[in-house]
Amino acid sequence: MTRQHITPELRGWIVAQAQAGHTPESLLASMRSSGWEEDAAMQAMEDALSGFLAEQHAAGGPPVPVAVPDIATDGASNVLDAGDREVRIVMAMRNPRVVVLAGLLSDEECDELMQLAAPRMARSETVDVATGGNEVNAARTSRGMFFERGEHEVCRRLEARIERLLQWPVDHGEGLQILHYGPGAEYRPHHDYFDPEQPGSATILKRGGQRVATIVTYLNTPAAGGGTTFPDVALEVAPQKGHAVFFSYDRPHPVTRTLHGGAPVVEGEKWVATKWLRQGVFR
């Protein structure tokens, strides 16, 4: 394939078409009909759009999007093969990308994770973006702990299912985090990615790069409250034992509309297992 030169006019046209919501397929068809070869047209589209996004970023716009894990939800079936278990799609939305799954864990597996975590629970800390260390945070009144990746058989099972459903290597994930919320406890809305503007982020990002997706699995069903909220899109996911909510963010920026939180538990308690997926290998 010869790489054809993209004139500024063509580049402008490609960007304008994409912004107007035309699909890559229709752009490709237009370029093919004006004599472009398919491979060259695809390359030109990619060059034009990535060049445009890089300029936007340089001009203070959002960072350039990266590839993120996803769950295939456009097939005819709402049943997914997680390897050793079938998992069902409860709901899926595109922007932000949010998918709710049923049956990611069995009741017994949920119980086992809570039991294994219980003796190790401490007041939750969040990563201190100013220093790269950990801090206790008033916006997060849960208690929590981290398992090492693959620390127990039940962790390995969950990690293998997630790897298979997301087509994202196990070693691109952090260890499971278990959180426990008592009555009134909450996790106020936040983003899970690391803010590149913060001085501590560079240190954090050396280990595995950015977080690009989250999967929160509910280990029990709270008596009342404790939903996972997405305030940008007024969505609330009801916590149910064994269900999980997946969401992805292709850049560390609010344009991803992935602001989310754990609403206060009104009655009873709430246990979750959170898995964060990274861009690269997390060691």
Ligand X SMILES: O=C(O)CCC(=O)C(=O)O
**Which residues are near ligand X by CB under 6 A?**
179, 187, 192, 216, 228, 260, 262, 272, 274
Cβ 238 to ligand X shortest distance, Å: 10
**Would you say 106 and 243 are in contact if contact means Cβ atoms under 8 Å apart?**
no
# chain residues binding Fe ion, by CB under 5 A: 1
Cβ 27 to ligand X shortest distance, Å: 37
Cβ 242 to ligand X shortest distance, Å: 15
* DSSP one-letter string for 11-23: HHHHHHHHHTT--
Q: Is 174 in the site for Fe ion (CB under 5 A)?
A: no
Cβ 20 to Fe ion shortest distance, Å: 34
Closest residue to Fe ion, Cβ-based?
Answer: 192
Cβ 228 to Fe ion shortest distance, Å: 8
The closest of 61, 124, 87, 53 to 253, measured between CA atoms, is 61
CA torsion angle 102 149 258 255 (round to 10): -140
User: Counting every residue, how long is the chain?
Assistant: 283
Whichever of 157 and 260 has its CB closer to ligand X, that residue is: 260
Whichever of 252 and 262 has its CB closer to ligand X, that residue is: 262
Closest residue to ligand X, Cβ-based?
Answer: 262
Q: Please give the backbone phi and psi of residue 206, each rounded to the nearest 5 degrees, phi first.
A: -65, -25
Cβ 192 to ligand X shortest distance, Å: 5
Candidate ranges 31-39, 55-63, 130-138, 186-194; the one touching Fe ion (CB under 5 A): 186-194
Round to whole Å and give the CA distance between 87 and 103: 5
Residue 132 touches which member of ligand X, Fe ion, none, C-beta under 5-8 Å by kind: none
Whichever of 106 and 126 has its CB closer to Fe ion, that residue is: 126
Q: Where do the H-state alpha helices sit in the chain?
A: 8-19, 24-33, 38-58, 107-117, 153-166, 201-205
Beta pairing partners, 214: 247, 276
* DSSP one-letter string for 105-169: S-HHHHHHHHHHHGGG-EE-EEE-TTTSSEEE-TTB--EEEEPPTT-SHHHHHHHHHHHHHHT--
Provide CB contacts within 8 A for 171, sequence distance 6+: 149, 281, 282, 283
Whichever of 109 and 192 has its CB closer to ligand X, that residue is: 192
Q: Lay out the site mask for Fe ion across 7-46 (x = CB under 5 A, - = otherwise).
A: ----------------------------------------
Round to whole Å and give the CA distance between 160 and 71: 14
| Residue selected from 192, 213, 253, 282 as contacting Fe ion according to rule CB under 5 A | 192
Candidate ranges 59-67, 169-177, 192-200, 265-273; the one touching Fe ion (CB under 5 A): 192-200
Q: Is 250 in the site for Fe ion (CB under 5 A)?
A: no
Cβ 99 to Fe ion shortest distance, Å: 16
**Would you say 69 and 212 are in contact if contact means Cβ atoms under 8 Å apart?**
yes
Residue 159 touches which member of ligand X, Fe ion, none, C-beta under 5-8 Å by kind: none
What residue ranges bind Fe ion (CB under 5 A)?
192
